[in-house]
Chains A and B, each alone.
Chain A
């Protein structure tokens, strides 16, 4: 259940964005989660509201964009999507590849609400 730690880190960052932008609260948080990030979006959806309670992220909608794995081929130089259970180059079939996408665990944007004061 490290999703709780991830949710904690996420809420801290959202709170920092709310404060920096002098907004009242966050209403939507968009994040990118790679298939090889080790984070289960479902568990994050469960943890986020619990951690957000009582913060400026309370009640915010969490939107997760799943990012597929991609590799760059060290043989032909092409970049292609890959099966994470059988990594290889989709262009030339080489198994000499390096991962270029799939480990993401990023905040992309935060929708903020500024209430009247």
Chain B
């Protein structure tokens, strides 16, 4: 390949102008892969154009998160092969996901074999809160990441969700934006929203609330003390996800917990 003019094709001709003491001449030649280019005379030729590089555009048409999605598909196959229903719980920090899970595990104990994978940036506080309720629990510390990904979950599946588990709760990192972009292999996402957060949150964060077919309104016991309207919140949820299935409950007082637990039991039947 010619090192001066940058021609990179396999077979094409080009012209060189040569200057030899006092005279000049042109000659054409063809480049092959190997470039026999021998002359008996010394050979220098200035080029006016810089080295030419070859530019081209290739169509790719791939999902940017295809590696995560492929792992999510493997997780989904594993879960379905082991008869496990998995739900991915997503909400802001402080909505009460862990407290709801504590009460849910207590309520389902002896009825449905449950397991939990819980994610936080730091600490295993949540896993410790969920211990001793008859369900295997594993904590993922994401450190600097704002979401769980399919690989983190996939690694834990055999140890946490094997052995006859029927229902796996994946408690995502508290965050309304990032976790909704990462498929973990769950059956579906459940969005949670507490009465202290404002009714219009579904419209402010449509990415999550449009993805989740089920929404849970938590801390309903606080509703009478707040300037908060359940009707306005339901409207906002349906604006971004028509047909969304909505639970209203308080894990603290037990209000609405029966319907929630019945629903979870039915998921696994």
Contacts and interface: CB of A to CB of B under 8 A. Distances in A.
Are A and B co-members of a single complex?
yes
Interface of A: 1-2, 5-6, 9-10, 12-13, 17, 21, 23-24, 27-28, 31, 36-39, 84-88, 95-97, 99, 103, 105-117
23 contacts: A2-B146, A2-B177, A6-B181, A9-B68, A13-B64, A17-B58, A24-B53, A36-B207, A84-B240, A85-B203, A85-B240, A95-B238, A96-B243, A103-B211, A106-B64, A107-B64, A108-B59, A108-B60, A109-B60, A113-B53, A116-B6, A116-B8, A116-B52
Interface residues of B, number: 44
A111 to B, nearest CB: 4
Interface of B: 1, 3, 6-8, 51-68, 145-147, 149, 177-178, 180-182, 203, 206-208, 210-211, 238-243
A86 B202 CA distance: 11
A42 to B, nearest CB: 14
B240 A5 contact: no
Contacts of A21: 58
A74 to B, nearest CB: 9
Contacts, number: 119
Contact of A114 (B53, B60, B146, B206): B53
Nearest to B177: A38
